[in-house]
Amino acid sequence: MDSKKIILTGDRPTGPLHIGHYVGSLKNRVALQHTYQQYVMIADVQALTDNAENPDKVRNNIEQVALDYLAVGIDPTLTTIFIQSCIPEIAELTIFYLNLVTVARLQRNPTVKDEIQQKGFGASIPAGFLCYPVSQAADITAFQANLVPVGQDQVPVIEQTIEIVRTFNRLYGNTLIEPQALVPQDAGRLPGIDGKAKMGKSLGNAIYLSDDADTVTKKIMSMYTDPGHIRVQDPGRIEGNMVFTYLDVFDPDKQKVAELKAHYQRGGLGDITVKRYLNDIMQVVLQPIRDRRAQYASSKGDVLALLKKGTHEARQKASLTMDAVRRAMKISYF
């Protein structure tokens, strides 16, 4: 392992993780932990920026997100899994960094602008939400991360982190490491089973890693296909057809998928048949994840112990960064 290369990544505990998370980031984390020193953060502080009135939602999902991490194969002996709010150094860094960025710059951040519009805040934007890129800068730099795996939509946040790092180093001396965004080449977003671009709990269109086999089957059988494909013998469209979208992602037999597409397009292949085939594929993908999740869930005390241990290790790393920051800023008094 190259100890000089540190990766930081994580999720907000606002709901269970779904198959889109698995495709978009979790599989990458499993692979990266064998090559890099990886920190995975359960970002409960950031979750509270738009869930301040519902702390139980955030608290209750911390363990569920941790179970999902362990279920997909993130190894706590290789990856440090920690809870954001238990690292006070991150909050301290955030306060200092707020002096290095303007409100106008935060308002121009494309990621922030898009999310403010999506959430319908209007003029009532929580200050914590507006400033969450500064908090993310603190998350990243607290661990002196070299690489941050993100989707294309989060690249502006990494760019803002780099600006903060450069400003800090210019004012106080070369102390912080500039991170790089690690954008997977296949980082496309998996649509919801209803065909909508976004997948999520509030939309009711996601397959969750914690779903049992029967639930997965029911969801696949309700998938959006081609509304014009009324009779089996009719030619069908594969564009925008979620069954084929998911087969493209999850079926390793690409020749078989190509044959199914051709058959569907010329007619004679029913939606039920294709959905049953997809269900077989998805059950193979999800069964090992379900098995590992059930194993860890049977001993919740062990999961909490893993989080406590990982958080302790993470705080040791963040404390070293904080000591260097205080010295650089001339506020290390004792």
Surface-to-core class of residue 318, CB atoms within 10 Å of its CB (0-12 exposed, 13-18 middle, 19+ buried):
buried
For 74, the 3-state DSSP assignment is coil
DSSP for 177-241 reads PPPEEE--TT-PPPPPTTS-S---GGGT---BTT--HHHHHHHHHT----TT--STTS----TT-
The pair of structure tokens assigned to 6 is 């540190």
Q: Measured between alpha carbons, how far is 268 from 94 in angstroms, rounded to an integer?
A: 60
What is the chain's mean pLDDT, rounded? 92
pLDDT, tens digit, 9 for 90 and up, residues 85-139: 999 999 999 999 999 999 989 888 888 888 888 778 877 888 888 888 999 999 9
Residue with tokens 């690409």: 254
Weakest mean pLDDT among 7-21, 122-136, 169-183, 302-316: 122-136
184 has a pLDDT exceeding 80: no
Whether 65 contacts 42, CB under 8 Å: yes
For 140, the 3-state DSSP assignment is helix
| Domain residue limits, the chain | 2-190+300-328, 211-294
1 has a pLDDT exceeding 60: no
User: Residue by residue, what is the 3-state secondary structure of 63-123?
Assistant: HHHHHHHHHHCCCCCCEEEEEHHHCHHHHHHHHHHHHHCCHHHHHHCHHHHHHHHHHCCCC
Q: Measured between alpha carbons, how far is 81 from 39 in angstroms, rounded to an integer?
A: 6
Task: Return the number of other C-beta atoms located less than 10 Å from residue 263's C-beta.
Answer: 14
The secondary structure element, H or E, covering residue 127 is helix 127-130
Q: Sheet containing 79-83: give its strands across.
A: 79-83, 36-42, 2-11, 147-149, 180-182
Residue with tokens 């014009």: 228
Of the two residues 104 and 184, the one the predictor is more confident about is 104
Q: What pLDDT shows up at residue 150?
A: 85
The pair of structure tokens assigned to 248 is 């493209």
264 has a pLDDT exceeding 70: yes
Which range in 178-187, 200-209, 249-258 is most confidently predicted, on average pLDDT? 249-258
Q: What pLDDT shows up at residue 129?
A: 84
Whether 167 contacts 144, CB under 8 Å: no
CA 47 to chain centre: 12
* Radius of gyration of the chain measured on its C-alpha atoms: 22
Q: What pLDDT shows up at residue 140?
A: 97
Q: Determine whether domain 2-190+300-328 maps to CATH 3.40.50.620.
A: yes
pTM of the model: 0.89
Question: Could you tell me which residues are beta bridge partners of residue 9?
Answer: 40
pLDDT, tens digit, 9 for 90 and up, residues 302-322: 999 999 999 999 999 999 999
Average pLDDT over residues 209-219: 96
186 has a pLDDT exceeding 80: no
Vertex 126, ends 123 and 130: CA angle to 5°?
A: 90
Q: Would you tell me which CATH number, out of the four given (1.10.1040.10, 2.60.120.260, 3.40.50.10490, 1.10.240.10), belongs to the domain 211-294?
A: 1.10.240.10
